[in-house]
Amino acid sequence: YYNIFYTKISGSSKRKYYTSSGTFLGEFVEQSLETLPNHYFYAKANKFQKKISIINPQGQVLIDEIDQIIVTGENDTFAYLKDKKWLFFHTINHQTIPSDLEFLSISTKYLPHYLKDVYIIKTNKGNGIYDAMNESWKLQPSLDYTKISPIENEFFAVETKQGMHFWNEKTNVLSEVYDHISEPIDNEKQSLLLYKKDELFCLTIQGDIQKIEADELGKFNHLKYNLRGKHLSYFNQFFDNWTKHYGANYYQVFDAQTLYNYYLELQRSGKEEGIVEI
């Protein structure tokens, strides 16, 4: 173990655990003790105890009868579920964090590394983004927010029944509503792609919103595999609808390099019947 060691107990499957500084942590079966931030530990459920317990740096059982624990990254806080209630514990202040709201679920999705102790939480007042270190809300919970998820860097997608907003963590600004929001295709120039009806926009690195004109869509389609999963599927659907709306000669708005890339792609994929002379 890192920073802890154990000694065997004669005639028992339990071991006596100590910190590297000599603090006695208790007796546990092997592989049942895990580290928490700032010299806290937790003992996993095992044949001798049915639930999780938290051990403080002095080797005392601080909280027991825990059903689930969430520890992420290098955070100084962690969440635990006890008596059907989610709570946060602050390992620097050495206390459970009080809250006026009922936490129903806590997302374990990856968040940007610089957002320490920040969590996406579903509460009895809706979804929000919580800063556990400062015991404050970065994005106040709302019943209108059906889902919140990280998209790219400091941007989060905030879904509602009307569509999607993006929220900028650095500026604390919530955008107008769009049909769909995704990661960018061109990471050097764009922060996000924004879809609204039959138009496509982008949020530039500088923070401006620009419309993607028809002659640019061919380049976007060639680079579309920079997108992933549902975002790639949404772009494919948008592009297909655009070509149908524009008509059979849609490719004539593209520049020579884009057309050449199309030709190579059709040739590589065995779809020569799609090649036309222009």
**Cα–Cα dist 246/229, whole Å:** 26
With a CB cutoff of 8 Å and minimum separation 6, the contacts of 92 are 38, 76
**Cα–Cα dist 278/131, whole Å:** 57
Residue-wise pLDDT tens digits, 187-198: 899 999 999 999
**Cα–Cα dist 18/241, whole Å:** 65
Task: pLDDT tens for the chain, 278 residues: list them.
Answer: 677 899 999 989 899 999 988 999 999 998 889 999 999 999 999 888 899 999 999 999 999 999 999 998 789 999 999 999 999 999 999 999 999 899 999 998 778 888 899 999 999 999 999 999 999 999 999 999 999 999 988 999 999 999 999 999 999 999 999 999 999 999 899 999 999 999 999 999 999 999 998 878 878 878 888 999 999 999 999 988 888 877 666 666 666 676 666 666 666 666 555 555 55
Which whole-number Å values give the CA distances from 106 to 70, 149, 248, in the listed order? Answer: 8, 12, 49
pTM for the complete prediction? 0.85
**Cα–Cα dist 146/230, whole Å:** 18
Cβ pair 13, 2 in contact under 8 A: no
Cβ pair 94, 56 in contact under 8 A: yes
Cβ pair 182, 164 in contact under 8 A: no
Residue-wise pLDDT tens digits, 38-88: 999 999 998 888 999 999 999 999 999 999 999 987 899 999 999 999 999
Strand (E) or helix (H) holding 113: none
**Cα–Cα dist 207/28, whole Å:** 54
**Cα–Cα dist 18/177, whole Å:** 55
